[in-house]
């Protein structure tokens, strides 16, 4: 089943159930990042079966998720770009990590097998700057001896919505290419130098599959599930790697959770021979003061359940579960920061 079809089924089915019966009042709603959608959908299915409580998640992009939680139209927001402490304080939000995974480049290059093409960060950045425009350009050919590269034009595909996946991608390219940093920079929404936009992973993937010579970027579980042709990437230690959960774990090993306010760790371009260069963390945002304590408790129960029971499902989808030591820190943050109207802790 395609992930975009899973999304429609999950949302439509849950909405119908909520209309038919008031017994679903405890269901919680979230919105935001596309990066973690596959695992959130799986966790929601597991949690519903175990507890009878639904979790309805709208995969609308990190920017939209941040806006919706600030506006209090959802019970939690999700973003792959961590908010800084000042912004969290201003909005009265707390932030905690839910899952880790990787972003990959996907291509539609005639005669090139999935995982065969090798790229480096600087070359990938020059493609997105519009400086490298042909697949048989010398910069690409030099990385791929023996691979027959076509003389096709390169069509750059990027996200058209405000996206945490774009943040991870542009943060990485900014770290490895000074010109990219100065001209485009890192962010959930940037002014791209070239290319066509697509909304969500679905929009980027559809354009890459439709346009001969296209290149885009999506979350790895989505690329794998939908059989998109990915590339290898050269990491900071000079190793060309295929994306997988072991390489995401290697990148995550450098995270300094206790030293980072709001758990705001960024894992792009980390050192280590086995570290995937575009690894990221997906974050959950909740209001510290919970106007509806019952809903707040249900959100916490859901993620507590996912931490304790969702690791196998995460691994199946090539995500990296949060380590037990980090879960303990998050649980402490829940106790310290999430309060009901009377000021009592909800966890």
Same domain, 89 and 119: no
- What sign does the dihedral 117-127-161-169 (CA atoms) show? positive
Domain total for the chain?
A: 2
Same domain, 161 and 240: yes
Q: Please give the pLDDT value at position 117.
A: 98
pLDDT tens, 282-325?
999 999 999 999 999 999 999 999 999 999 999 999 999 999 99
pLDDT tens, 27-39?
999 999 999 999 9
Q: Is residue 261 part of a domain?
A: no
Q: How confident is the model at residue 176 (pLDDT cuts 50, 70, 90)?
A: very high
pLDDT tens, 74-94?
999 999 999 999 999 999 999
Give the other-Cβ count within 10 Å of 323's Cβ. 15
In the predicted structure, residue 104 carries a pLDDT above the cut 80: yes
Q: How confident is the model at residue 4 (pLDDT cuts 50, 70, 90)?
A: very low
Tokens of 331: 């649980």
Same domain, 15 and 124: no
Q: Please give the pLDDT value at position 254.
A: 85
In the predicted structure, residue 8 carries a pLDDT above the cut 50: no
pLDDT tens, 247-278?
999 999 989 999 899 999 999 999 999 999 99
- Mean residue pLDDT of the chain comes to 92
In the predicted structure, residue 26 carries a pLDDT above the cut 80: no
3-state SS string for the chain:
CCHHHHHHHHHHHHHHHHHHCHHHCCCEEEEECCCCHHHHHHHHHHHHHHHCCCEEEEECCHHHHHHHHHCCCCCEEEECCCCCHHHHHHHCEEEEEEEEEEEEEEECCCCCCCCCCEECHHHHHHHHCCCCCECCCHHHHCCCCCCCCCCCECEEEEECCCCHHHHHHHHHHHHHCHHHHHHCCCCCCCCCCCCEEECHHHHHHHHHHHCCCEEEEEEHHHHHHCCCCECEEECCCCCEECCCHHHHHHHHCCCCHHHCHHHCCCCECCCCCCCCCEEEEEEEEEECECCCHHHHHHHHHHHHHHHHHCHHHHHHCCCECCCHHHHHHHHHHHHHHCECCCCCECC
Same domain, 83 and 127: no
In the predicted structure, residue 110 carries a pLDDT above the cut 80: yes
How far is 259 from 282, CA to CA, in rounded Å?
18
Q: For a pLDDT cut of 90, what percent of the chain falls above it?
A: 91
Q: How confident is the model at residue 17 (pLDDT cuts 50, 70, 90)?
A: very low
Same domain, 94 and 130: no
Over residues 10-18, the mean pLDDT reads 35
Q: Please give the pLDDT value at position 5.
A: 41
**Structural domain of 66:** 3-101+278-337
Same domain, 159 and 120: yes
CB 167 within 8 A of CB 63: no
Same domain, 87 and 70: yes
Same domain, 217 and 124: yes
């Amino acid at each position: 089943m395609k992930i975009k079809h899973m999304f429609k089924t999950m949302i439509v089915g849950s909405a119908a159930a909520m209309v038919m019966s008031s017994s679903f009042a405890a269901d919680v709603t979230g919105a935001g990042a596309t990066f973690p959608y596959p695992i959130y959908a799986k966790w929601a299915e597991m949690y519903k079966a175990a507890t009878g409580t639904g979790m309805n998640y709208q995969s609308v992009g990190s920017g939209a998720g941040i806006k919706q939680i600030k506006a209090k139209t959802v019970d939690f927001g999700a973003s792959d770009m961590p908010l800084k402490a000042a912004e969290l304080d201003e909005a009265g939000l707390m932030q905690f990590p839910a899952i880790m995974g990787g972003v990959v480049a996907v291509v539609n290059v005639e005669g090139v097998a999935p995982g065969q093409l090798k790229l480096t960060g600087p070359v990938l950045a020059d493609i997105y700057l519009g400086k490298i425009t042909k697949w048989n350009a010398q910069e690409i050919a030099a990385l791929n001896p023996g691979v027959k590269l076509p003389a096709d034009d390169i069509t750059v595909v990027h996200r058209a919505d405000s996206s945490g996946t774009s943040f991870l991608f542009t943060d990485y390219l900014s770290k490895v290419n000074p010109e990219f940093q100065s001209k485009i920079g890192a962010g959930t929404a940037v002014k791209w130098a070239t290319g066509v936009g697509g909304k969500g992973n679905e929009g980027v993937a559809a354009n890459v599959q439709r346009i001969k010579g296209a290149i885009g970027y999506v979350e790895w579980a989505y690329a794998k599930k939908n059989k998109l042709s990915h590339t290898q990437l050269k990491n900071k230690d000079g190793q060309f790697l295929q994306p997988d959960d072991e390489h995401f774990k290697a990148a995550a090993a450098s995270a300094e959770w206790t030293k980072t306010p709001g758990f705001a760790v960024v894992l792009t371009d980390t050192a280590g021979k086995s570290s995937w260069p575009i690894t990221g963390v997906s974050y959950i945002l909740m209001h510290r003061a919970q106007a509806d304590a019952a809903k707040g408790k249900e959100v916490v129960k859901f993620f507590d359940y996912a931490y304790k029971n969702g690791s196998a499902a995460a691994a199946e989808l090539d995500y990296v579960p949060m380590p037990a030591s980090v879960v303990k820190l998050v649980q402490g943050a829940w106790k310290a920061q999430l309060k009901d109207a009377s000021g009592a802790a909800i966890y």
